[in-house]
Amino acid sequence: MMISLLTLKEKILSNKSYYLLLFFLYSLTSWSQDNRSFKIFQFPVDKIPAINGDTKDWDIVPASYIVGMDELWEDSGKHKEVDSSNLAVQVTVGWVKGLNRLYFLYEAYDDYWDFSLPGLHNDTFEVIVDGDQSGGPFIDRFHPNRNMDIMDAFYSFHGVHAQNYHIFTPAKGKDWTMVWGSQPWIKDLPYSNAAYSYDFEAGGNGKLILEFWITPFDYAGNDPSRAVKSILKENKNIGLSWAVIDYDDVEKKSNNGFWNLSKEHTMYGNASYALPFQLMPLEAQFQADLLADWSFKILNMSRRQVAFFDKSHGEITSWEWAFGDGRTSTEKNPIHTYEKGGKYVVVLIVKGPEGESRKSKVWDVVVK
């Protein structure tokens, strides 16, 4: 029986709409697994936390930055709800403008601390970080090329564009963390640091304080000389997630809980399942009402042409630039050409309802 061209066209269009609908629904389930977001506290430069296991430096952080057990779920089916007499955890994350570091305060109570063995069997705080939110798989067995040798995948792919830290809580007689990937160098200075505070023995109960900072990388291969650090700046979102792996019996191989921040268990190897964490500006009480600041870039050295950029904070009504050669400007972001080479003292004065502020830089601007 012959099918008319009109009928055939209708069937094709109908099937096309069906597949578009399926694709749309798949996209929703794939990329909308979670709509939560969290905040990363910005420490003022004169209040950077010391890594010593003391929580006092974190007293300035508002409670809204703390991520507690209410945000975690036990994704292996061992526990239907949180029992704070068994395990209670809260995590706070911070950053400092100008440093490529993420600071963590991990506070936990456990009724059985399991940390006497030398291997992976250890109470663990597992953290994944994706500094540029590139997403996607990042461990060897999730490599998109299924034909690649597993060890080749490990060295070329595992932990490269997002990193996984198995942080031992606490670590006794071993490194503070196992970096799951081909870049173990990221767990040492100058890329990370950690300190603990606790007074219990293995098998006992009590409270643990862990302070640490790590460096997120957009590219972290086996060779540190080729690494690319993530850029951290105000209001940027990064991908971050964690899980608390709770062991409760040194004689038992399996754990007693995998408490996950992500809704997807495989977040440990797929950065698409990380959560957005926003690098927040300074809280209002730490911001000056008016503060002058600026930067510059040499546009053309042979012409001695320099661009100046206002970076001041506060409500500003006027800018007064003095370029150090007797010439001035009232533009916000002027471009200035020096007639002679030399080392210059450049001054910016900003004014506003709160008064005025000055920022001078001595011999930063040098032209030939």
pLDDT digits (tens, 9 = 90+) for 85-125: 999 999 999 999 999 999 999 999 999 999 999 999 999 99
User: In angstroms, rounded to a whole number, what is the distance separating the alpha carbons of residues 124 and 136?
Assistant: 24
pLDDT of residue 16: 52
Q: For residue 105, what is the DSSP state?
A: E
SS3 362: strand
Q: Judge contact between 99 and 52, C-beta under 8 A.
A: no
Fold of 288-367: Immunoglobulin-like (2.60.40)
CATH architecture assignment, domain 34-279? Sandwich (2.60)
What is the band of 33 on the pLDDT scale with cuts at 50, 70, 90?
A: low
Q: What is the rounded average pLDDT for all residues in the chain?
A: 93
The secondary structure of 309-354 as a DSSP string is EE--EE---EEEEE-SSS-EE--SS-EEE-SS-EEEEEEEEEEETT
Is-cis flag, bond preceding 49, omega within 30?
Answer: no
User: In angstroms, rounded to a whole number, what is the distance separating the alpha carbons of residues 1 and 32?
Assistant: 46
User: In angstroms, rounded to a whole number, what is the distance separating the alpha carbons of residues 26 and 265?
Assistant: 19
Alpha-carbon distance values, 43 to 262, 299, 349, 352, 365 (Å): 26, 33, 26, 26, 29
CA-based nearest residue to 346, from 315, 319, 314, 316 = 319
pLDDT of residue 34: 80
User: In angstroms, rounded to a whole number, what is the distance separating the alpha carbons of residues 210 and 89?
Assistant: 11
Average pLDDT over residues 357-367: 99
Hey, where are the domains in the chain? 34-279, 288-367
